[in-house]
Amino acid sequence: MIRASRVVPVGLLASYLRQMLDGDDLLADIWVEGEVTNLFPARSGHLYFTLRGDEGQLKCALFRPYAARQRSLPANGDQVAAHGRVGFYAREGAVQLYVDVVEPAGLGLAALELEQLRQRLAAEGLFDETRKRPLPMAPRVIGVVTSPDGSVWHDIQQVLRRRYPLTELILSPCQVQGDRAPAALVAAFEAIRHDGRAEVVILARGGGAAEDLAAFNDERVVRAVFSCAVPVVTGVGHETDWTLVDEVADLRAPTPSAAAELCVPSVADLAFRIVELRDRLARQTHDRVEDERLEVRQMRRRLAQESTGRTIVVRQAELRRLAGEGSRGARRRFGLARADLQRQTALLRALDPMSVLGRGYALLIDAESGAAGVTVAAARPGHRLRVEVVDGAIMTRIEEVVARQLPTRSARVGQEA
Amino acid sequence: MSDGRVSAVPLAEWDAALNNGSFEEVFATLEAVVARLEEGRLPLAESLTCYELGVRLATRCETMLDEAELRVSRLEEVIERLIDQPRAGEA
């Protein structure tokens, strides 16, 4: 704390001064008018200058973010009104104005009022980005609020005739300048609302002196734009002019003609898109038909595979292959066939019943009928049999027939039950 | 469709747009037809119907662009009436 008759470090005094200045409501929000001198644009983008009056001067700092927002930057010798807060810059021991808005002098009071109105409306949410509405892609009806005289209305018609003649324009004529302009503009918006056909509204005015645009900073007009039921595009003045209706509008165009352009697609673009759609249509249909054709082809192939057609084709191929082989190949094949034949003969020989007799078996033949395979059922005592053995045949007679005792069907069933 | 099946595409609706639609409607319908074709899975016959309809929509769009003439009107009378008859409660 700083007390009387006590030596304090300069840093402490500096921070005391800063607190004093920061705590002052008047100094926190003030407009100062004077001539710009010692202008120094720093490489950082900040702008430093001194405001000089008849009896004093004040250092000013316009920091980069604020500098970027100014409609025009001050130059040495300019009479300006600067808005900001007064603070103490301890490092240089200087009181200075931290500027956020700088306007040509004379506009000072109007600028102050405008800034206050802007802040009030902003606080109310009129300028919120979140309430900006998208424009219709291709509006059928466009409302135009502007003066029926002069080039603006003519230019807008020209642009739309060239760019998108499919639309309908409804002019809501009004005065755009002078004391009666705000009320006229509000009535024009009311007429648009009453008519109810417009899908988007262009609010336009040609370029002029800053004071000529006053109606577009009028609170009534700003509110009329805000409450318009359809999106509003502004094209007011020149590119460098910026009014409150530009802030409240759904979209701000730099000029009236640009506003008209922004409202509609161009027929050239549309024609191009139609051609593109035609192409896609044709390509798609062509592909579709080709797909079907391919499918039919595949079906046909599968059909051929399932039928004898395929067998014939395969056989034919085999035949061709065989025919194509040379005589050596054919001979080799013949040799293989012969070896195979020998193997088959050996196999047949092994199966010869006579070879079984060599292993001690005998073959019975009914001498009466000559049939092999004598059975009990056919055998009768006294019948002659011929017994073939390995080294000849023995003639014999049946002494007795003994049937093998087979279990009867009923007995088997009985056992299982 | 003539065979009485329920169509997989809103042909009647598209046809109505072609015959009575504004440019925006015809154009949007053309976009819808192309999108439906590109989506695939339509029976061949319906694909071809869509194609024909699409071509007619595209032609209609182009004709509309060629023939379009900017229409202009003014609301002076409306404004006068508004001035003559202020809204209730304001008079």
Q: Tens digit of pLDDT for each residue in A341-366?
A: 777 777 666 666 666 677 777 888 88
- Whether residues B65 and A271 touch (CB distance < 8 A) is answered with yes
Residue A227: predicted pLDDT? 95
Residue A201 predicted with pLDDT over 50: yes
Average confidence (pLDDT) over A229-234: 96
Q: What is the ipTM of this complex?
A: 0.77
3-class secondary-structure state, position B71: strand
A371 vs A206, residue with greater confidence: A206
Structure tokens at B54: 């699409």
| A370 band by pLDDT with thresholds 50, 70 and 90 | confident
CB contact A197 to B (< 8 Å): no
Q: Find the closest chain A residue to B45 by CA distance.
A: A289
Give dist(CA A90, CA A15) in Å, integer: 7
Residue at token pair 């006229």:
A184
d(CA B4, nearest CA chain A) in Å: 24
- Whether residues A172 and B75 touch (CB distance < 8 A) is answered with yes
Residue A8 predicted with pLDDT over 60: yes
Contacts of A294 in chain B (CB under 8 A): none
Residue at token pair 């998208």:
A134
Residue A153 predicted with pLDDT over 90: yes
Q: What share of chain B is helix, strand, coil (3-state, %, to 5)?
A: 65, 5, 30
CB B58 within 8 A of CB A274: yes
Average confidence (pLDDT) over A13-17: 90
Residue B39: predicted pLDDT? 85
First vs last C-alpha separation in chain A: 122
Q: Choose the weakest-confidence range: A145-149, A336-340, A394-398.
A: A336-340
Share of chain A above pLDDT 90, in %: 44
Q: Choose the weakest-confidence range: A228-237, A283-292, A310-319, B35-44.
A: A310-319
β-pairing, A47-52 with A57-62? antiparallel
- Whether residues B73 and A187 touch (CB distance < 8 A) is answered with no
CB contact A397 to B (< 8 Å): no
Give dist(CA A237, CA A216) in Å, integer: 10
Residue A171: predicted pLDDT? 96
Residue A417: predicted pLDDT? 38
Can you give the pTM of this predicted structure? 0.54
A2 vs A302, residue with greater confidence: A302
Residue A408: predicted pLDDT? 54
Q: Choose the weakest-confidence range: A77-91, A294-308, A312-326, B12-26.
A: A312-326
Of A311, A202, A218, whose CA–CA distance to A252 is shortest? A202
Question: In sequence order, which residues have a C-beta less than 8 Å from that of residue A276 and are 6 or more positions away?
Answer: none
Residues of chain B with pLDDT under 70: 1-7, 77-78, 81-91
Residue A352: predicted pLDDT? 67
Give dist(CA A50, CA A82) in Å, integer: 11
Q: Choose the weakest-confidence range: A21-35, A80-94, B8-22.
A: B8-22
Give dist(CA B19, CA B53) in Å, integer: 11
- Whether residues B51 and A281 touch (CB distance < 8 A) is answered with yes
Residue A275 predicted with pLDDT over 90: yes
Residue A342: predicted pLDDT? 74
Among A278, A279, A293, the residue to mutate for chain B (most B Cβ within 10 A): A278
Average confidence (pLDDT) over A153-168: 94
Q: Choose the weakest-confidence range: A112-116, A232-236, A258-262, A282-286.
A: A112-116
Identity of the residue in A190, A271, A292 whose CB atom sits nearest the CB atom of B62: A271
Residue A309 predicted with pLDDT over 80: no
Q: What is the CA radius of gyration of chain A?
A: 57
Residue A127 predicted with pLDDT over 90: yes
Residue B29: predicted pLDDT? 93
Q: Tens digit of pLDDT for each residue in A161-172?
A: 999 999 999 999
Residue A43 predicted with pLDDT over 90: yes
A335 vs A108, residue with greater confidence: A335
Residue at token pair 């209609």:
B60
First vs last C-alpha separation in chain B: 61
Average confidence (pLDDT) over A123-140: 92
| A114 band by pLDDT with thresholds 50, 70 and 90 | confident
Average confidence (pLDDT) over A210-237: 91
